[in-house]
Chains A and B, each alone.
Chain A
Amino acid sequence: MVLNTSTLAHRCRRRGVHPIINELSAPPPGPPAPPASELLAYEEVLAALDGLTPLDLARLDAIERRYLNGTDFAEGDLLQEAMCAALFEEKKCPRSVRFIAFLVQSMRNIAGHRRDRLLLQVPIEDATVGERKSKFEPKDSGPSPEDAAIEAEQARRASEVWAKLNPQYSSDEEMGMVLLGWENDMRGEALRDFVGVDQARLDYAIKKIRRIARRAYPKGWQL
């Protein structure tokens, strides 16, 4: 499959991927990449990996599970892939970013790209002409029909997921407020103030949200 730079850039923008840690050799227009001195070198990545605590490892394992759905990664493989990408400097970790958060973002990107790639291997019904088309035709520029098909599939899948989760969340006012806060990028104190509860109550609401999501989709939403 041939994917040109603009097609890949379009996918990255769609996913909201930070240009430093995306999978593109040519990042989309945006802030310039920081100089090498602001990125972790091989030995530093090794040291960061060695510095992961058992709690960090459990966190990474829990998060990895949320992205396995729709990929062909076995348990542990997605995490390994993210670590290898950091070690091989395919994805570079800025010093200003918490290393474990960098690995999480990396897993998200890798899983997303793998999902897209697997989706492209399946002929998708062309709604406009009713034909089944191969997904391997290279395109010259702009969002391709393949991208449009992937986006449509993701939108359909998202509606399905939300239709399943929303009734469970909307029954609880605090959970509903937390979700609304998250949709508006709130975290920490801002979120606590917005929801109007103390930290313990907020943590409890978040825990409930997390568990409902995990029960409904143990291996993630496939988005």
Chain B
Amino acid sequence: MSKEPTDLERLSKIGAALDDSILDASEADLREDFKEAGDDFDKAVARAGSAVERAKVHAARLRFERAQAEVKAFREQGNVRTLDLAKARRRLEGMRSGQAEDAMMAARKGGKLSERDEQGLLDDLAQLHALENEEKEEGEE
């Protein structure tokens, strides 16, 4: 209690103490407070409850947008490789004609494949190609 506080300092401390008094107030006291101000305790609960829900929805949406942006950035950094089906198809043709150096025995001797087998093989080859590229790049680094 040394020097006289300014009005601003005084009101700042009184304001914080008033907030504390509201945080410590009983439900009965608060109901009286709201009533005296022409308001209603239950309406106040509904108002604040609605603010909580809005905040949660807003936060969930923002987190989703952030996650989307992170995925996009990850993709843009070249971390996701698209499968080159055209190249895989050329490789399959090579295997069929027996010209491909790395064709497996089964592939070289293979008879006619069904459409479904062919599609599956193409997918496998495209993935293999992507993996080979990845290994090559890692070796270069």
Residues of A bordering B, CB below 8 Å: 16, 42, 46, 49, 52, 54-55, 57-64, 66, 75-77, 79-80, 83-84, 87-88, 98, 100-101, 104, 108, 154-155, 158-159, 161-162, 179, 182-185, 187, 203, 206-207, 209-211, 213-215, 218, 221, 223
**What's the Cα separation between A93 and B50 when bound, in Å?**
22
Q: A76-B50, A183-B5, A211-B36 are in contact. List 7 more A-B contacts (CB 8 A).
A: A16-B12, A61-B47, A76-B51, A87-B59, A158-B8, A221-B11, A221-B15
Instruction: Give chain A residues whose Cβ lies under 8 Å from the Cβ of B56.
Output: 46, 49, 83, 87
Whether A158 touches B7, Cβ cut-off 8 Å, given contacts A55-B27, A210-B22, is: yes
Tell me whether chain A's interface is mostly helix, strand or loop, or mixed. helix
**What's the Cα separation between A185 and B5 when bound, in Å?**
12
10 A-B pairs in the complex with CB atoms less than 8 angstroms apart = A46-B59, A52-B52, A57-B52, A62-B34, A63-B19, A80-B58, A104-B23, A203-B29, A207-B29, A209-B21
Whether A57 touches B36, Cβ cut-off 8 Å, given contacts A66-B18, A76-B50, is: no
**B13 contacts which of A75, A100, A182 (Cβ < 8 Å)?**
A182
Q: Shortest CB–CB separation between residue B43 and chain A, in angstroms? A: 9
Whether A79 touches B51, Cβ cut-off 8 Å, given contacts A104-B19, A211-B36, is: yes
A60 pairs with B20, CB closer than 8 A? no
Q: Shortest CB–CB separation between residue B1 and chain A, in angstroms? A: 6
**B30 contacts which of A55, A100, A159 (Cβ < 8 Å)?**
A55
B1 pairs with A184, CB closer than 8 A? yes
Instruction: Give chain A residues whose Cβ lies under 8 Å from the Cβ of B52.
Output: 49, 52, 57, 80, 83
**Nearest CB in chain B to that of A184: its residue:** B1
**What's the Cα separation between A193 and B27 when bound, in Å?**
25
Instruction: Give chain A residues whose Cβ lies under 8 Å from the Cβ of B25.
Output: 59, 207
Whether A57 touches B44, Cβ cut-off 8 Å, given contacts A158-B8, A159-B7, is: yes
Instruction: Give chain B residues whose Cβ lies under 8 Å from the Cβ of A206.
Output: 21
Tally of chain B residues near chain A (CB < 8 A)? 45
**What's the Cα separation between A161 and B62 when bound, in Å?**
40
**Nearest CB in chain B to that of A98: its residue:** B23
B19 pairs with A79, CB closer than 8 A? no
**B14 contacts which of A100, A154, A179, A214 (Cβ < 8 Å)?**
A179
**What's the Cα separation between A206 and B32 when bound, in Å?**
14
A209 pairs with B18, CB closer than 8 A? yes
* B120 CB within 8 Å of chain A: no
Whether A223 touches B11, Cβ cut-off 8 Å, given contacts A100-B23, A182-B17, is: yes
Q: Shortest CB–CB separation between residue A148 and chain B, in angstroms? A: 14
Q: Shortest CB–CB separation between residue B22 and chain A, in angstroms? A: 5
Q: Shortest CB–CB separation between residue A206 and chain B, in angstroms? A: 5
Instruction: Give chain B residues whose Cβ lies under 8 Å from the Cβ of A183.
Output: 5, 9-10, 13-14
**Nearest CB in chain B to that of A78: its residue:** B51
Instruction: Give chain B residues whose Cβ lies under 8 Å from the Cβ of A66.
Output: 15, 18-19
Whether A154 touches B30, Cβ cut-off 8 Å, given contacts A62-B44, A63-B19, A185-B13, is: no
**Nearest CB in chain A to that of B36: its residue:** A211
Whether A61 touches B48, Cβ cut-off 8 Å, given contacts A83-B55, A206-B21, is: yes
Q: Shortest CB–CB separation between residue A112 and chain B, in angstroms? A: 10
Whether A214 touches B37, Cβ cut-off 8 Å, given contacts A79-B48, A155-B7, A182-B14, is: yes
Most interface-central of A63, A66, A75, A83 (chain B CB within 10 A): A83
